[in-house]
Amino acid sequence: MDTLETRELRYFVAVAEELHFGRAAERLGMAQPPLSRAIQQLERRLGVCLLERNRRGVRLTDAGEVLLQEGRAALDATAAAARRTRRAGGADSPRNRLVLAVKAAASHELLQKLLDAYAAEPDSAEVEVVPCSINEQEELLRDGRADAALMHTPWNSLAGFDSEPLATEGQVAVLPAGHPLAAHATLSLADVGDIPGLPLARWPTRGAYAPGPGPEIHNQTQLAQLIALGRTVAIVPDSARSWLWAEHTAVPLTDAPPVVTHIAWPAHSRSLTLAGLVRTAVRL
Burial of 58 (0-12, 13-18, 19+ CB in 10 A): middle
β-bridge pairing 208-209 and 234-237: unpaired
What pLDDT, on a 0 to 100 scale, did the predictor assign at position 95? 55
Q: What are phi and psi of 266, to 5 degrees?
A: -60, 135
User: How many other CB atoms are found less than 10 A from the CB of residue 222?
Assistant: 14
**What span, in angstroms and rounded, lies between the C-alpha atoms of 191 and 197?**
13
Q: Taking a C-beta distance cutoff of 8 angstroms, is the pair 130, 101 a contact?
A: yes
- pLDDT tens per residue, range 8-65: 999 999 999 999 999 999 999 999 999 999 999 999 999 999 999 887 789 999 999 9
- pLDDT tens per residue, range 158-186: 988 999 999 999 999 999 999 999 999 99
Does the predicted TM-score (pTM) go above 0.75?
A: no
- Residue 112: strand, helix, or coil: helix
Does the CA dihedral 117-119-124-128 come out positive or negative? positive
Q: Taking a C-beta distance cutoff of 8 angstroms, is the pair 132, 104 a contact?
A: yes
The three-point CA angle 127-130-132 to 5° equals 155
What pLDDT, on a 0 to 100 scale, did the predictor assign at position 92? 46
Least confident of 178-192, 196-210, 216-230: 196-210
What pLDDT, on a 0 to 100 scale, did the predictor assign at position 69? 87
